[in-house]
Amino acid sequence: MDALLQILITGLTLGSMYALGSVGLALTYGTMGMFNMAHGVFMTVGAYMSYTAASLWGLPIPIAIISGILAGGIVGAAMHLLIVRFMLDREDFQTTIMVATAGVAILLQDIILKQYGAYPFRQPLQIEGSFRIGQTAITYQSLAIMGIAALMIGAMAWLLTKTRFGLAIRATAMNQEAAQLMGVKTELTYFQVILIAGTLAATAGILISSLASLSPSMGTNPLIRAFVICVVAGLGSVTGAGFTALVLGVMEAAIGYYFGVRYGFPVLLGIVIVVLIFKPAGLFGKQGVIRA
Amino acid sequence: MMHLSDLKKHLIALLVILAFIAFLPMVITQRYFLGEIILFMIWASVATQWNVLLGHAGVFSLGQMLFFAIGAYAVAMMGYYLDASPWMSLPIGASAAAVAALFIGLACLRLGSAYVALLTFAIVFMVGTLVMTETNCFTTVGQTCQPLFGGGNGFSGFDDLGFRKLLKGKWVVGNYYVVLGVLAISLLASIIVIHGRLGLAFRAIGDSAIYAAARGMNRTKFHLIAFVITAFFTGLTGAVYAAHFRFAGPSLFDFSTLVFILAIIVVGGLKSTWGPIFGAALIMILVEFAKDMGDVQNSAVGLVIILFVLIFPKGIAGSATKIFRRAMTAKNL
């Protein structure tokens, strides 16, 4: 029982961070067919920015977190304005954008490495203490992580479903040309989507670094998780990505608990490949919905 | 002008390029430069195979470094544990890579291209992490523990190609021609694939997947064939890499290695035949300069990728053909 509760808590903490990381990725793919290889570096940027704000500039923690989140959004917006904008009309957009964003990823990662060094820092944004249910210790830190993740994803869900702005995004995702004909400025929509994805990724990065530590390559691991989650959920399915993230988080925690942390991800990936053999468009994806 | 088929023209070009590279050791004697050219040939071969897969067959695999690593590790492990000569393990490494590609391909290639990219990327990452985090000792040599797959340090110091004994001080030249041989096989295979019947099938599928399917062409089958063939030659290149450097380690799985080779392909020109050769030469020179300027090679590679994707999406090969065509039409006018 205690082990089960422990696994559940660890898994949901992991899962909510993964959800935060993958929802943005699913959103960008769903709206514009773009797979962003720099998504992981957005996480790194967010984490380093809030570290800088809190430790080096001595700003209070809430402001440090917000500045980290904003930094992710700004980097995303800059990438759209400088690069993605010019490539939208390419015939082979889907592949070339992956190559271009891989370039952005390695460039940003190298800049962070040169600026801060390879030595891993401790993220100062920590909440000390824990309480107990039975024998299981639950840290306030993991509660805060789940809370922040729920808040951010909730805010995004509200934006997407309840506002005109969200309607424009959903319309563009369904059919770009029809949306354009209805007066949606699709280019602006794309910009907003990358901005949202950047802020979500940065939040994920801040939360992840509060559990582990800061290093220039910290984004790679969650990025791959996010990839796998989006693939299982069905590319572009935003809600599906959120749910899948939670489930995979708990599964990874369970495998890690029983077989060792080393095997958590490999076993997960094996299961994912088996799932894809039976459902090639993912669990929540509809065959043929994705634009060619 | 003589009428030669596309295939023959490219084969003649291949002979010229190979003859040129074969001639270089006559004038260049510094070991450092020869080493750099060997590295150039290795990356050019990997990029050529990847270009066949990515540019021509349309399989968006990010897993090529896994096949390279399988070839390299096969040579390293057989040399380390069995004292096998690389000459014997070269074909074994290449075949192991092809077998791995067959299984991964069967699992992934039915899916859409974005899925293929993400899954192959995840698989490489997973294997890399498993190798790097391995801590159980398989054997203990002196005081050092050696995990089965080498752990974070990898393997080094196993048997080389045997030229150190044979040619003494000029052993690099021996390795040089072996690597050149591998490059020659890899290029020859790529030309035959691109300009032969397989290439025709790739073009048909690329032009209209639905029409090709209606004519009875199985997309997954052709993608799988391309995946396995390119994995074989990528594995062979990896094997010769390990034999030359007497090293194989988890750094081969690094994201920066992957992006480095992507840069070669993008700069050379996706969908070209000869682009990767020129791309490899240019990126090697770029990295050499960037190292001198304070280890900024990753930034430089990133910047170059972005610039080329934005401004010259067809790479050098594409731009060169364009200029050439323009010059030809100008003359005819």
Q: Among B2, B69, B55, which Cα is nearest to B193's?
A: B55
**Average pLDDT of chain A?**
86
Q: For residue A89, what are the contacts with CB-CB under 8 A and spacing of at least 6?
A: none
Mean pLDDT throughout A279-290?
A: 64
Q: ipTM score here?
A: 0.84
Chain B CB within 8 Å of residue A98 CB? yes
Q: What is the mean pLDDT of residues A158-174?
A: 87
Inter-CA distances, B205 with A64, A281, B109, B310, Å:
52, 21, 14, 26
* B139 or B217: which leads in pLDDT: B217
Strand partners for A132: A137
Q: Residue A81 — pLDDT band, cuts 50, 70, 90?
A: very high
Percent above pLDDT 70 for chain A: 97
How far does A95 lie from chain B, in Å, by closest CA? 7
Beta-bridge mates of residue B139: B146
Alpha-carbon distance of B307 to B81, in angstroms, equals 46
Average pLDDT over residues B131-142: 76
User: What number of other Cβ atoms are within 10 A of residue A105's Cβ?
Assistant: 26
A110–B299 CB contact, under 8 Å: yes
Q: How far, in Å, CA of B168 to CA of A183, rounded?
A: 75
CB contact under 8 Å between B310 and A98, yes or no, is no
Judge whether residue A209 has pLDDT over 80: yes
Q: Do A290 and B126 touch (CB under 8 A)?
A: no
Per-residue pLDDT, A77: 93
Query: Are the beta carbons of A99 and B309 separated by less than 8 Å?
Result: yes
Give the pLDDT of residue B1.
Answer: 46
Q: What mean pLDDT is predicted for residues A263-291?
A: 72
Q: Which of B91-100, B103-112, B229-238 has the lowest mean pLDDT?
A: B103-112
Name the pLDDT band for B2 (thresholds 50, 70, 90). low
Q: How far apart are CA B230 and CA B67, in angstroms?
A: 9
- A100·B130 Cβ contact <8 A: no
Q: How far apart are CA A45 and CA A50, in angstroms?
A: 9
pTM for this predicted structure: 0.88
Mean pLDDT of B84-112: 89
CA distance A280 to A274: 10
Any alpha helices (H) in B109-170, and if so which ranges? 113-132, 163-167
Q: In this predicted structure, what is the pLDDT of residue A276?
A: 79
Residues of A in contact with B309 (CB under 8 A): 83, 87, 96, 99-100, 103
Find residues 211-230 of chain A whose CB sits inside 8 Å of chain B. Answer: 217, 220, 224, 227-228, 230
Enumerate residues 6+ apart whose C-beta is below 8 A from B268: B47, B51, B274, B275, B276, B277, B278, B279, B280, B282, B315, B316, B317
- Kindly state the average pLDDT of the residues A102-112: 93
> Smallest Cβ distance to A111: which of B121, B299, B304?
B299
Strand ranges in chain B using DSSP code E only, listed in sequence order: 139-141, 144-146, 155-156, 247-248
Contact call for residues A235 and A29 (beta carbons, < 8 A)? yes
Portion of chain B with pLDDT greater than 70, in percent:
96
Structure tokens at B165: 């004994």
Predicted confidence at residue A288, as pLDDT, reads: 45
* pLDDT: which is higher, A271 or A112: A112
Shortest CB distance from B122 goes to which of A217, A227, A277? A227
The predicted-structure confidence for B179-226, as pLDDT tens digits, reads as follows 999 999 999 999 999 888 888 888 888 888 788 888 888 888 899 999
Choose the weakest-confidence range: A96-105, B170-179, B230-239: B170-179
Contact between residue A257 and residue A136 where contact means Cβ atoms under 8 Å apart: no
Cβ atoms B45, B183 nearer than 8 A: yes
A29, A100, A281 ranked by CB distance to B309: nearest: A100
C-alpha count within 13 angstroms, C-beta hemisphere, residue B312: 22
Q: pLDDT for B58-70, tens place per residue?
A: 888 888 999 999 9
What pLDDT band is residue A291 in, cutting at 50, 70 and 90?
very low
How far is residue B221 from each of residues A95, A213, B102, B114, B123, measured CA to CA in Å?
21, 45, 11, 18, 21
**Measured distance CA(A26)–CA(B67) in Å, rounded:** 29
- The shortest C-alpha distance from A104 to chain B (Å) reads 6
Q: What is the pLDDT of residue A95?
A: 83
Q: Which of A104, A106, A114 sits opposite B255 (nearest CB)?
A: A106
Taking an 8 Å cut-off on Cβ atoms, the answer to whether A106 and B302 are in contact is yes
- Among residues B3, B11, B6, B4, the alpha carbon closest in space to that of B197 is found at B6
Task: Output the six-digit token pair for B14.
Answer: 């291949």
CB of A103 less than 8 A from some CB of B: yes
Of B54, B107, B301, the CB nearest to A273: B107
Q: CA A137 to CA A131: how far, in whole Å?
A: 6
What is d(CA B233, CA B331) in angstroms, rounded to the nearest whole number?
A: 41
Give me the pLDDT at residue B130, please: 85
Of all residues in chain B, the percent with pLDDT exceeding 90 is: 29
Percent of chain A clearing pLDDT 90 (strictly above): 29
Q: What pLDDT score was predicted for residue B67?
A: 94
